[in-house]
Structure 1
Amino acid sequence: MSFPPLDTALPAGVDAREHALALRRMHDASLSGRPGPVRPRPVIEDSWNRMRRFGIDPDAGPPPRLVSTDELHRRRQESPIAEVLPLIRRSLVSVADEADHIMLVTDASGQILWRDGSHRMRGVGDRVGLVEGSYWNEGSTGTNAIGTALVVGRPVQVYSAEHFVRSLHTLTCACAPIHDPRDGRLLGAIDVTGPVSTIHPSTLALVSAVAQLAEAHLQSIHHTHLERLRAVSAPLLAGMRERALVVDETGWTAAAVNMEPIRRVLLPTHRESGTAWLPALGECSLEPLPGGWLVRPRPAECTAPSVVTLDLSGPAPEVTVEGSSGSWAHRPTPRHAELLLLLAVHRSGRTAAELSTDVFGAVGHVVTVRAELSRLRRHLGGIVESRPYRFSEDVVVRVVLPDFPEDLLPGSHSPGVRELRSRVGSGDGAVPLGVEVAT
């Protein structure tokens, strides 16, 4: 997965110590309502606004919430990142140790699952609560690289007084989220934290590269699982004359016969043998296999889904499809979430050129838009149509919005999304009837 250019905390050619002093003056001025010597970076300013809404006290930030040892052990076992932890440690622990840093690995909620690195910095971490089992999302500890990176969904570096809570001003941290390469779902994050004197722009680049390496390794592991399922199912498929797919537990196709393979099938949330309507395939029979499912599309059609819900109220967008034969859940990538929101607002449809302007601010990205919509329709065939791109007229579309307009896809820089944030905040009816606002 590729990221946009990295937004490092230390401007090129600026003395780190002088910049830290300027940031502290900026922090004091901002909290007192006065103009400061420098303006916070947009990612920091947005985060500070969230901290004010959360009621975080900058002078007495709450101690991070801790879970029990048993709960920590359970979450470690359940985390997909555990499969790539040895790779992350090989890549970062020696560097962190030599640079007087600690390396932290969290889950998607910001809970620290693993910690390694400098003995001295582990002691510093103990004093501020950077310990295994603690939560470092923004709502728990204020603006910090872990919490803010998880909110915006991209690498973030936070230096000195860019932290909202003053007790963290002695630290610099760089964090990059890890996404599931199969569907873009947020899995957690990798963070490197050290004293303010050790800040360097390359730290963010290093952490970002390791996160991408971890995602690539997870992709390789997934391919291995599909190869194993393909081998197991080969004898079963060899004698079939009807159309059939073999998919893994998350719907990714391992093999297909007598039909063009679909990259992924959106399976019902609660799966069992029988018949179900599946997006992109229609009515299908489902039969369990070791490690997956045999999916056989049927010529007949049953009732298509009636309601599609795009939930943007939580830390990760989610699409839920509801119909007479069950419900299906899908976590769209950040780009797909942007496109689905825009299509929900423009129910009459948008051309590729219009979506290019909505997402990129110019019409020159039509090819990219068409490629993204093609990927999206592989998951939501029968729900998202083309020429123009739109939601099917047969479904009711609901959008669940966050409590605050600025939390609407906070990691998005798309002009169309930014306009929606401002219009939702002003209450001028930018969002169509049927949209639900989260409470």
Structure 2
Amino acid sequence: MDVTQGVAAGTVHAARVLDEVRSAVLSGGPVPAAPRPVIERSWERMVRSGVDPDHDFHAGLLPRAEVERRRETSELRHVLPVLREGLLPAVDEARHIMVVADDEGRVLWREGSPGVLRKADGLGFELGADWREDVVGTNGIGTPAVTRRPVQVFAAEHFVRSHAAWTCAGAPITDPRDGRLLGVVDVSGPLETMHPATLAWVGAVAKLAEARLRDLHTRSLERLRAVAAPVLARIEGRALVVDRDGWTAAVTGMPYTDRITVPKPGAPQPRWLPGVGPCSVEPLAGGWLVRAAEEPVPQGATRIVLDLRQPRRWSVRVLGGVGAWTHELSPRHAELLCLLAVHRTGRSAAGLASDMFGDPARTVTVRAEMSRVRRYLGALLAHRPYRFSEDAEVDVLLPADPLDLLPHSTSPMIGALRHENGRAGPAGLGRS
């Protein structure tokens, strides 16, 4: 039974049942009703990380100057008008507040009902506060950041007891260019103001914000394309102009590809980029001019390091005769490469769909994502079936606790890997 289904019949009754459920789960006693899976998994993480359910922890606030610095550098500043227009008209009337936090869970903006803002101050829900899940428990900012999907946390679904008088609905906002988490938008308020439609409303506005970011990126590429045209017209051979994140604005003498992996600033010349080969990289207004060299790519043994240790900081690093480069991974790509590290002999699209979604029919999604992965891994990732190159050495760096492996993932296979016995990591991972 999903205990939140009883909310319509009375929030007080539902809150009382949830309090009994949480107390029973924490004490190990018989549970009167099952908590929702997303909440149950969050509580498990809280127990493992040592969050005290009876201690209202107030993290140190960032200085106001640091809050302003983060505001000025956050991509979220571009979508504040969308969030305000979509949420604020109803927030004040419904006695709620809108809260926007960055990818580290730090509160950067708060607006809404003055009375509710004052109550939030009493919980430490202030500007500059740290509301990561492993700091303050299950909540409408930290939990969506971990799960990467909208989450409503009602009453005693909050892990920390003092938060049980609140209801929160938060949705992650990701960068449409690379899937990187930018932050979370949350609507919170007193328990009695909860409405079942709040979560869908917040999630829809978060998607509008992501659409706005996508539109801004398209416009920036159009401006860069205008700068690139006269530059490329004077170049013989293969070259392309990309933005700071590697998205292609224009090419000459070579096939068009949506995106390349650009080197970190300060990397030595000459460089080798996947999909381009040896090349030189020159700064250009708003991006990079990449000139491909004509000499053959040097050969050598290749080592692939898949780093899954830090939440939201997953990456793949390639080292070999052509040099070394690193690419940050989106949540979906981290899942796919983890699965391929398990299945070194290869996996069909249907097999990966079954591993990821429990549905072998979802091959269209898998093929589309694998096509994007192959844009930066190139020949290091074979297909039919999908697999790492046979002559590549693959290392997987895992979190200290196997249960922290890709905590956002709902993949059946990832879930099974998390619960493999032993703290040395899931079977099938490591060096191969």
- Give the TM-score of the pair, scaled to structure 1: 0.92
Question: 2: distance between equivalents of 1:328 and 1:427?
Answer: 27
In structure 2, give the amino acid aligned to 1:96. Answer: V
Change (3 A) 1:173 1:286: same
Question: 1: distance between equivalents of 2:146 and 2:53?
Answer: 19
Change (3 A) 1:31 1:282: same
Task: Tell me which of 303, 306, 331 is aligned to 2:302.
Answer: 306
Structure 1 contact 54–139 (Cα < 8 Å) conserved: yes
> In the alignment, does 2:36 pair up with 1:41?
yes
Question: 1: distance between equivalents of 2:277 and 2:209?
Answer: 35
Partner of 2:420: 423
- CA deviation map 1:164-217 (0-9, x unaligned): 111101000000001000000011000000011111121111111111111111
Question: 1: distance between equivalents of 2:339 and 2:414?
Answer: 8
Partner of 1:91: 86
Structure 2 contact 417–426 (Cα < 8 Å) conserved: no
Question: 2: distance between equivalents of 1:305 and 1:18?
Answer: 64
Structure 2, unmatched stretches of 5+, are: none
Question: 2: distance between equivalents of 1:312 and 1:8?
Answer: 34
Partner of 1:239: 234
- Is the partner of 1:158 in helix, strand or coil? strand
Question: 2: distance between equivalents of 1:273 and 1:253?
Answer: 22
Alpha-carbon shift at residue 281 of structure 1 (Å): 2.1
Task: Tell me which of 246, 251, 260 is aligned to 2:255.
Answer: 260
Change (3 A) 1:325 1:61: farther
Question: 2: distance between equivalents of 1:337 and 1:292?
Answer: 26
Partner of 1:3: none
> In the alignment, does 2:396 pair up with 1:367?
no
Change (3 A) 1:271 1:14: farther
Question: 2: distance between equivalents of 1:410 and 1:62?
Answer: 23
Question: 2: distance between equivalents of 1:347 and 1:270?
Answer: 33
> In the alignment, does 2:14 pair up with 1:19?
yes
Structure 1, unmatched stretches of 5+, are: 1-6
Question: 1: distance between equivalents of 2:163 and 2:27?
Answer: 19
Q: How many residues align?
A: 429
Question: 2: distance between equivalents of 1:29 and 1:358?
Answer: 33
> In the alignment, does 2:81 pair up with 1:118?
no
Structure 2 contact 3–18 (Cα < 8 Å) conserved: no
Change (3 A) 1:359 1:119: same
Alpha-carbon shift at residue 323 of structure 1 (Å): 4.2
Percent sequence identity over matched residues? 50
Partner of 1:349: 346
- CA deviation map 1:20-61 (0-9, x unaligned): 110011122222221122111111111111211222221113
- Say which is worse superposed, 323-332 or 371-380, in terms of deviation: 323-332
Question: 2: distance between equivalents of 1:426 and 1:216?
Answer: 41
- Is the partner of 1:322 in helix, strand or coil? strand
Alpha-carbon shift at residue 334 of structure 1 (Å): 1.9
> In the alignment, does 2:341 pair up with 1:315?
no
Partner of 2:264: 269
Alpha-carbon shift at residue 94 of structure 1 (Å): 2.1
Partner of 1:190: 185
Question: 2: distance between equivalents of 1:96 and 1:257?
Answer: 51
